[in-house]
Amino acid sequence: MFIEQHEVLSLSEYSKQRNQIRKFMIQQRKTRCLSLTENIRLAFENKETIKYQIQEVMYATKSTSEADIVHEIKTYQHLIPCGKSLKASLFLEFDEGAEHNLNRLRDIESTVYIQVAGFDKIWPSTNEDIGSQRIISPVHYLNFGFSNGMISALKSGAKLTCGVKHHGSPVGPKEIAKNTKLALLNDFQTDCLH
């Protein structure tokens, strides 16, 4: 299930509904976020979170053209999970010493894992939007691929954990809360047709 141009509200309509939409999305984000440390946060994306991101970009830039809407949809569309994947934005958040800390955590994005109890760890494909370019960034995009067996186990109540195996900030495994797990299970129902 992908975002169609007609699903993006006009700037004037979004402006009218923005406060209500923001309240709803803040709750959605809380359910879909996992703090791994005080500086490392994983936000699991879905169609609603990405549509909200697009609306906020359009609002911030006061963009109204169809070309701008199409551009933003193309920019963020790849972050919507479908079929057997979960997609997440990895945020590295530092108040002070950001450059030093980002250097210390170089390549952390490839060391984040998810694990379904009874199965091997799932390592993500990362930053698919930038290809093979190596970057130091406070935001990375992760794609976790699941097998049918893993999805069935989750639906049957298997524990879901997440961790980081990076030498600069090892974490976990941390159990993913039940309400977050339930929200993520819905992502496996998403149709992948463009």
Confirm whether 113 is domain-assigned.
yes
Residues 12 and 9: their CA atoms lie apart, in Å, by 8
Contact 118, 153 (CB under 8 A): yes
Could you tell me the pLDDT band of residue 194, with boundaries at 50, 70 and 90? very low
Quote the pLDDT of residue 100: 74
Residue bearing tokens 């998403």: 190
* Model pLDDT for residues 169-180, shown as the tens digit of each residue: 777 799 999 999
Mean pLDDT over 104-133 rounds to 83
In sequence order, the 6+-apart residues with CB closer than 8 A to the CB of 162 are 34, 36, 42, 112, 113, 114, 115, 172, 173, 174, 176
- What is the count of structural domains for the chain? 1
CA 44/CA 31 separation, integer angstroms: 9
Whether 192 is in a domain gets the answer no
For residue 153, being part of any structural domain is answered with yes
The residues, any chain, with a CB within 8 Å of residue 194's CB and separated by 6 or more, are 2
Q: Backbone phi, then psi, for 160, in 5-degree steps?
A: -120, 125
For 72-83, how does the pLDDT look when each residue is reduced to its tens digit (9 = 90+)?
A: 999 898 899 988
Q: Which residue has the higher pLDDT, 120 or 64?
A: 120
- What does the pLDDT average to over 150-163? 95
**Span of 32-41, 94-103, 115-124, 157-166 with lowest mean pLDDT:** 94-103
- Say yes or no to pLDDT of 99 above 80: no
DSSP per-residue string spanning 10-61: PHHHHHHHHHHHHHHHHHHHHHHEEESSSSEEEEE--HHHHHHHHHHHHHHH
| pLDDT over threshold 90, residue 133 | no
The 10s digit of each residue's pLDDT in 35-65 is: 988 888 999 999 999 999 999 999 999 988 8
Q: What is the mean pLDDT of residues 7-14?
A: 94
Does residue 37 sit within a domain? yes
Residue 90 lies in a domain: yes
User: pLDDT of 180-190, one tens digit each?
Assistant: 999 999 998 75
Give 17-40 pLDDT, tens digit per residue: 999 999 999 999 999 999 988 888
User: Could you tell me if residue 193 is inside a domain?
Assistant: no
pTM of the model: 0.87
Average model confidence (pLDDT) for the chain? 88
- What is the span of the domain harbouring residue 19? 5-187
Asked if residue 194 belongs to a domain, the reply is: no
Rg (alpha carbons) of the chain, rounded to whole number: 17
